Structure 1
């Protein structure tokens, strides 16, 4: 009989430990919910604890020696376990808010955004960089073969995006333009300051997650371009099957100097194959239209700096005729 009783001791201990954990989590949640509802703005775990202490609601010994760290852990665990049905949301790295307040129109829009683990992982994803000393003085389009010849060398690497880069090492970005029927897609991006100047392409940094079986020779540069337009224009705008051969082409590279620190911009041309395809509107993108090259050239003053930089490079290389997918440096028929 004694043996049977003793066999239940670990179970009792585990049950007590679980009960204590649930009770502790509940205390943290109730306290955080109360503070966030009163403050009506996203707060860090430390700010929640300090506000609770200032209002006299923080008991002695709450959270052990690190109450802020304990609060952060409990709220993070609550968000992870409850998912989209939970009381709390992560507003930004290290800051929390109440889900119920996301729909409150009286709060600033900046308070009502959320931040997901996928975004956090993407920010930390190593990005493609290149030692580009030999290209820094080139103003025009650089043939793809001259850059891609360095893929298997130490000149091209994936590095932590927070790492400071030497002046001659440039981050590699994909810049994809969309063409159809010999015309070029132009658009505008709206912002709080109003509608911006006309843009020609969609850009994003190339990361370690981008290379696929079909795009390893270019370290995922073309694939990054295609992913970017799918996100920007919607998955129904284009058919991307077979993009490794006839749909998307890498026209070349330029050293872009319009955004402060120079970057190596890979210019990718994507032919829709449907000249009247309806384009989706996402992320504040407006005024989408397919324009003749002559119209774009005559309205150069309407382009944003990077769009003008790219268009001049393509024109200088004889690639502003979008009737074909011939790339810079390829034999002319």
Structure 2
């Protein structure tokens, strides 16, 4: 079906001889009657855009497509055609998005309420925490000024390809604590602000959406044509994990698993994410101390049989 979308785009762009958006390509394809009966759906233009972007990302100069501007696609066959205006024969290079540091108030829950939920260990079922959020038993604080008496809620997104989880070495951009720097991590973390909650994600205060969005930016997945809504639908919140810094304070990690796009493969350093590699989660790691404290907590729970990711060791 992927090839069907690309063939449609190729035929339409050859006939039109001008750059078009995915929505315009689909519209022209229906006018011309070249859409096969096996293609269906209300968001075909989004699927088409993702397919062309995947082709550009994976094949680079070998792709039959290129962008002339954000959201507009054309065929490489026309790059040397003098009949095409010169400005349309210049491939547009998408700029890399950078994740801004979160400043100001972030989501937190009073430590007393959290420890009540975690009376039997460090793992908490999501439903128990989400009930507190829906009932408004939370607040927003500035962790830079200290957060004694509160647990700061942090999405911790683990990127999967089948049974393999993406790991990397942590740089200073994420955390200044010495026990994180240069350690290996299995998750991408961020903070949740009051602006991250919408009418559509009120049940988790925006935890899942903001975690997926931050992960996509860190890994350049946004440049591949996938949107945060599409990937959020492939992400799942599994557990909340307590991480203690000192008595009465710490982080409450919202452990999320996300299946990454099939075309994505990390190949270079991005931000302060170094030494990216895939790790088979089924194989117990021999060097657990090489991982940061958050990753160690999640891995150790997984290896003891806890369904941290909805899958068992």
- d(CA) in 1 for partners of 2:225, 2:186: 17
Aligned residues: 202
- What's the counterpart of residue 270 of structure 2? 282
Alpha-carbon shift at residue 263 of structure 1 (Å): 1.4
1:158-307 equivalences under 5 Å are 158-161=140-143, 165-167=147-149, 169-190=150-171, 196-234=182-220, 235-236=222-223, 239=226, 240-245=228-233, 247-257=234-244, 261-274=249-262, 277-278=265-266, 281-307=269-295
Deviations 1:243-298 (A, max 9, x none): 343x1100110111258841111111111141753455322212111111244533
- d(CA) in 2 for partners of 1:309, 1:176: 14
Alpha-carbon shift at residue 164 of structure 1 (Å): 5.5
Check 1:304–1:274 CA distance in 2 against 1; reply closer, same or farther (3 A cut). same
- d(CA) in 2 for partners of 1:244, 1:198: 25
- What's the counterpart of residue 128 of structure 1? 107
C-alpha RMSD of matched pairs (Å) = 3.3
SS in 2 for 1:282: coil
Deviations 1:82-135 (A, max 9, x none): xxxxxxxxxxxxxxxxxxxxxxxxxxxxxxxxxxxx86xx412x2111122313
**TM-score with structure 2 setting the length:** 0.55
**TM-score with structure 1 setting the length:** 0.52
For structure 1, the 5+ residue unaligned runs are 1-117, 329-333
The structure with the larger Rg is 1
1:140 and 1:317 in contact (8 A); partners too: no
1:258 and 1:305 in contact (8 A); partners too: no
SS in 2 for 1:236: helix
SS in 2 for 1:262: strand
Between structures 1 and 2, the one with greater helix share:
1
For structure 2, the 5+ residue unaligned runs are 1-99
- What's the counterpart of residue 141 of structure 1? 123
